[in-house]
Chain A
Amino acid sequence: MTRHLVQATLLALAAATPAFSDTAPKDVVFEEGAVAQSLTGNPGNPEEGVKVMTTNALGNCVACHVVGALPDVQFPGNIAPPLDGVADRYSEAQLRGIVANAKMTFDGSFMPAFYKTDGFIRPGNGYTGKAAEGELPPILNAAQIEDVVAYLVTLKE
């Protein structure tokens, strides 16, 4: 039991830590909102992407978006456009740009920037209400962004 817990923790740490070859948040190149290069240099895993999108502590995209292809998600929000068919509307590069920092595509968007580490007003330490210590990690790491993008490109109608 204890060993399992330790292993789970190590795994979680591995997932949250950026890998060497990742493009750092500050080095991401946006062209009209789109990001052409994979942030990890590798394709993402769409199943992991679903997990990121539906987990509160990670992307929690379903707080605002409905995804018809994920009917088991409880209480999706309806603040933002449904994500069904999103791969017909945007290229992979555009989707990567929207997930990394939607404000580069939609001026003043309500959608949070998931791969951004500075320029915040009174940044907090997670949801503690206390001040952040040092530079914040992005909400999602490069691999998680790629996983989400890998799932989004499957959403064709």
Chain B
Amino acid sequence: MQQRKATWLAATALGLALTGMAMADPAEDTLSVETDDGTIDFVTQTAAPEFLKGHLDTIYSGWLFREDETRALQKDDFDNPAMVFYDRGVDRWNATIGKNGESCAGCHQGPESMAGLRAVMPRVDEKSGKLMIMEDYINNCVTERMGLEKWGTTSNEMKDMLSVISMQSRGQIVNVKIDGAAAPFWEKGKEIYYTRYGQLEMSCANCHEDHYGQMIRADHLSQGQINGFPTYRLKDAGMVSAQQRFVGCVRDTRAETFKAGSDEFKALELYVASRGNGLSVEGVSVRH
């Protein structure tokens, strides 16, 4: 454990030193991870989905925009600092935390029962017609089936559980539905993506579509994809969910942000997820 920690610190320091170089493009690298069930080869770049024609030809995982040291941490589960939070989440999955001793495992068996879900989220719930992010499904169980107070959208217990569920779809291809009942939510998310918010008047697209690959001061701009989320962020020394990242990015435009878990950011998550249709779910990733 001590050993592990030292490695991350070194990686952070190096990362800081290296960001000064003008790295223009995504790295030329491929991501494979050895697991107990064999090797997983990840799709980190592929043709953009049809609806992005005229905007982007190729989509890239944010992994390709990080420095060598940061990328290396994600190539080996033993080095990946996010695994601590995944492990903690698995413990909570099995724990009898409900008001009457319920556990996630009691209803769902092992976390493997969630395989495939992360790759199609957010989605419209068939019964209620509501747009659901993973946090909504988790909180439904927490409140209605376990009789607990709902978990904070960006709380640690929530992000641990996002990690557990995301890992069950590791390597699967993101395939979020954008038509049918999802269409109006998707359109709303798209509108938010292209709106120039705040005193700096910047949209998501200004940074992540028009200028990805370039440096904004010390930051190497990626396409702002969320296939890797939740991610361990070295800068924060903790897990960050997509909802949380949106808050940070909008705040940086000197704007009044929307709240994590708000209807606006849920719609935005659907839209941003769909821009990554074709990339692999990374389970839990590592970013700078």
Report if B200 contacts A (CB, 8 A): yes
User: Is B256 in contact with A130, judged by CB distance below 8 angstroms?
Assistant: yes
Complex interface bits, B189-212 against A, C-beta within 8 A gives 1, otherwise 0: 000000111111110001000110
Contacts of B217 in A (CB 8 A): 56, 60, 62-63, 75-77
Report if B33 contacts A (CB, 8 A): no
User: Is A122 in contact with B214, judged by CB distance below 8 angstroms?
Assistant: no
Report if B19 contacts A (CB, 8 A): yes
SS class, residues of chain B in contact with chain A: loop
Report if B20 contacts A (CB, 8 A): yes
- Name the residue on A nearest B19 (C-beta): A75
What are 27 A-B residue pairs whose CB atoms fall within 8 Å in the complex?
A56-B217, A62-B217, A63-B216, A75-B20, A75-B215, A76-B215, A77-B214, A77-B217, A78-B22, A78-B214, A79-B211, A79-B214, A110-B202, A120-B198, A121-B198, A121-B255, A122-B198, A123-B255, A124-B256, A125-B256, A127-B251, A127-B254, A128-B251, A129-B250, A129-B251, A130-B256, A139-B199
Nearest Cβ distance between residue B94 and chain A, in whole angstroms? 36
Report if B252 contacts A (CB, 8 A): yes
5 A-B pairs with the lowest CB-CB distances in the bound complex, closest first: A75-B218, A129-B251, A131-B256, A129-B257, A63-B217
Complex CA gap A8/B196 in Å reads 35
Complex CA gap A127/B201 in Å reads 13
Complex interface bits, B27-57 against A, C-beta within 8 A gives 1, otherwise 0: 0000000000000000000000000000000
Nearest Cβ distance between residue A116 and chain B, in whole angstroms? 8
If A63-B217, A110-B210, A129-B247 touch, whether A124 touches B198 (CB-CB below 8 Å) is yes
How many A residues have CB within 8 A of the partner chain? Answer: 29
Nearest Cβ distance between residue B247 and chain A, in whole angstroms? 7
Report if A18 contacts B (CB, 8 A): no
Contacts of A74 in B (CB 8 A): 20, 218
Contacts of B218 in A (CB 8 A): 74-75
User: Is B216 in contact with A126, judged by CB distance below 8 angstroms?
Assistant: no
User: Is B256 in contact with A122, judged by CB distance below 8 angstroms?
Assistant: yes
User: Is B254 in contact with A123, judged by CB distance below 8 angstroms?
Assistant: yes
- Name the residue on A nearest B196 (C-beta): A121
Complex CA gap A139/B254 in Å reads 10
User: Is A122 in contact with B197, judged by CB distance below 8 angstroms?
Assistant: yes
User: Is A129 in contact with B214, judged by CB distance below 8 angstroms?
Assistant: no
Report if A85 contacts B (CB, 8 A): no
User: Is B202 in contact with A124, judged by CB distance below 8 angstroms?
Assistant: no
Complex CA gap A62/B199 in Å reads 18
Complex CA gap A74/B215 in Å reads 12
Report if A93 contacts B (CB, 8 A): no
Complex CA gap A124/B255 in Å reads 4
Report if A70 contacts B (CB, 8 A): no
User: Is B206 in contact with A127, judged by CB distance below 8 angstroms?
Assistant: no
Contacts of B214 in A (CB 8 A): 77-79
Complex CA gap A77/B23 in Å reads 11
Report if A15 contacts B (CB, 8 A): no
Complex CA gap A121/B202 in Å reads 10
User: Is A112 in contact with B201, judged by CB distance below 8 angstroms?
Assistant: yes
Complex interface bits, A46-75 against B, C-beta within 8 A gives 1, otherwise 0: 000000000010001011100000000011
User: Is A77 in contact with B215, judged by CB distance below 8 angstroms?
Assistant: yes
